[in-house]
Amino acid sequence: MKKRTKIILSLSVGLVLLFCGFIYLSFHTMEIEDHYGDLQQFYYQSKDEDIILNHDNKKFGIIEKDTRRIRIVDTRNEKVDLYNWVYIYDDFQESKIEVFRPDSKIDLARMNYEEVVSLIQKNEMELIIKN
């Protein structure tokens, strides 16, 4: 093959791959927006092992994040999707939640809500996002 043909073929393959990557990223972003709606900033700003507090029902848990969803692991080791964890009432009212990033690893299995709040007041956790 001529050098010019190789260059054109390489550029064409590169552009097709770039276009496919853009389409995948667009669909992924749309899926997050469709599922979480107003809570999508929680998906983008939180990380694994962040602590989430629900002030309305005084629950807390650890965030587990994958490529599509955020799951909350509570003290009973139950995994609940973020959307279901925030909208806990029958009338779908949004509860007040905050996400914190701890300075060190914290074992939440042995803690209660008041102990977690006291760690926040001692500035041992950094506020990431709240609604």
Q: Are residues 32 and 43 in the same domain?
A: no
The 10s digit of each residue's pLDDT in 29-83 is 999 998 888 888 988 999 988 999 988 888 889 999 988 899 999 888 889 898 8
29 and 92 fall within a common domain: no
Same domain, 82 and 123: yes
Q: How confident is the model at residue 55, as a pLDDT? A: 83
The answer to whether residues 56 and 8 belong to one domain is: no
Gap between the Cα atoms of 51 and 22, Å rounded:
32
- Domain hosting 20: range is 3-37
DSSP 131: -
Task: Tell me: pLDDT of 94 over 80.
Answer: no
Regarding whether 45 and 29 lie in a shared domain, the answer is no
**Statement to judge: residues 111 and 51 lie in one domain:** yes
Examine the domain organization and report whether 7 and 50 are in the same domain: no
